[in-house]
Amino acid sequence: MKFNKGRFEARVYHGLKSLLSVGDTLPPRFLEIVVCDSFGFEHVGDSTFYADGYRDKTQVSIKTRMLTPHILKTKAGRDFQTNPALFLGPQQNVKQNKWTAGLEIVQRRQQLDFENDSTEYPEKVGKATLKGFEDNILESHRKFGTDTSFEIIVTHGYSNTNREYIASIFWKEHVPLDAEKINWVREGVSVVGYSLIDGVPKKICERINGNAKREATCFKEYKDLTKYQCSDNTKLPIPDPWEFNQKKILEEINLKKKTHVTLLFEQ
């Protein structure tokens, strides 16, 4: 996995110049394509398969998260590059005395073969969810002729000064969760998986019921990105947007139309 940082920065900067309004952020699909290009993978996203890109025997799944900085009035603000532990590491709900292992990553919608998943035993739901996810990865391997899977996570957004656009990339080979080492419990409209990390039970995954009003059937993992060994940070100045000149654009459109007509007559 070789990352072309220059390619990534140039394409992100180009994308920033094309945003429609001040304060807009880069769309997920754009970042997927840029990441594939920067790692030398062919983009094959927009499908039901695990892979968003592949090359030779390796497939990659790309997840993006836009994170909003904390802008403070009396002292310096915070963002995921200046304070990675705050944004990307484990989080504690002090009131409930519960921990989440890291940043929320939506993996996929995972349908389960239960008559009513909201009343089924939590352990059954949890194990079926993980099996369905791994089955999808294997199906993707068969589709694209690969045998190795990597997950790439991209966090992005504006810096704590709002004068730069920042992006961080984290990647590692996919390692399946061990369902037998997870404590499965029901919480609200979800089945949640807890694992003992540094002596503390932390939420590492969850699957939302099929009848939930929001995010029904979603399978999520919670990942501590501060522990990833492979990562890269980018900070770019905010570019001036491409100038919108209606007269020049209409002239270009008309020229293209004339060229198209000429080519038709020449055939």
Domain ranges of the chain: 5-266
Helix, strand, or coil here: 203? strand
Per-residue pLDDT of the chain (267 residues; tens, 9 = 90+): 899 999 999 999 999 999 988 899 999 999 999 999 999 999 998 778 899 999 999 999 999 999 999 988 888 889 999 999 999 999 999 888 899 999 999 999 998 999 899 999 999 999 999 999 999 999 999 999 999 999 999 999 999 999 999 999 999 999 999 999 999 999 999 999 999 999 999 999 999 999 889 999 999 999 999 999 999 999 999 999 988 889 999 999 999 888 765 655 555
Distance CA 207, CA 130 (A): 9
> Which class in CATH covers the domain with range 5-266?
alpha beta
Where in 114-265 does DSSP place strands (E)? Answer: 148-158, 164-173, 183-187, 190-197, 200-208, 218-223, 230-237
Amino acid at 200: V
Please tell me whether the overall predicted TM-score, pTM, comes out greater than 0.85 for this model.
Answer: yes
Whether the CB-CB separation of 170 and 152 falls below 8 Å is answered with yes
Helix, strand, or coil here: 64? strand
CA-based radius of gyration for the chain: 22
Distance CA 248, CA 252 (A): 6
